Amino acid sequence: METDSARLIGETRAERERLAGILGDLTPEQWDMPSLCDGWRVREVLAHMTMPYRTKAIGVLAGLVRAGFSFNRYAEREARSTTQKMSDAELLDLLRRNVDHPWRPPGGGEAGALSHDVIHGLDITEPLGLPPAPAERLALVLASTKPRQLKYFGVDLGGRKLTATDSDAVVGDGPTVVAMTSKDILLVATGRRSLHEVPQTSR
């Protein structure tokens, strides 16, 4: 039986391959489209996703120091700087060559790596009207969603329990049950969409 760790690693690889396939078909206009990450186009999101493949720990630390130890400020500068130095094709090639890269976010493990790629994948595919990750993959990401993650993204479910209509994912533990797709739950849980912006069914 496949271990949880092996499944997470396999799904991360599959998500990177899926995104590489999607990005390979984009037009120049689509690369220039705004993503769900405020102020970033599709190319900046990919630059951020490939940052672990391009930077060493000492480089990240130096960048954080210059950014006043604000990771968000550092990530913003790094993504914009990278898109000025690398073409869309070079960034895509970097993703393709690193589908098996073992990077894990600090303290996040395999689940964190999968979440990073799936969430930023939505940042790209959603505004372009392209397919999201499979519901089962989205559910794996949602399974690791805890109150501290909701707080990090500034999300208050207001006593609602979000249940998926296409997987076994559940987020929140309030008395009001709201049904929606796994994709929409993840968009809400990460602050990409508010509850009133996604189709839902109260029960």
Tens of pLDDT along 1-37? 356 999 999 999 999 999 999 999 999 999 999 999 9
pLDDT at residue 1, rounded to an integer:
35
Mean per-residue pLDDT over the chain, rounded: 94
**In the chain, which residues have pLDDT < 70?**
1-3, 202-203
Assessment of whether the complete model's pTM goes beyond 0.85: yes
Query: Where do we find the tokens 């939505």?
Result: 122
The strands making up 170-171's β-sheet, listed across from edge to edge, are 170-171, 160-164, 176-180, 201-202
pLDDT at residue 203, rounded to an integer:
57
pLDDT at residue 34, rounded to an integer:
98
Q: Where are the domains of the chain?
A: 1-133, 144-203
- Fold for 1-133, please state it: Four Helix Bundle (Hemerythrin (Met), subunit A) (1.20.120)
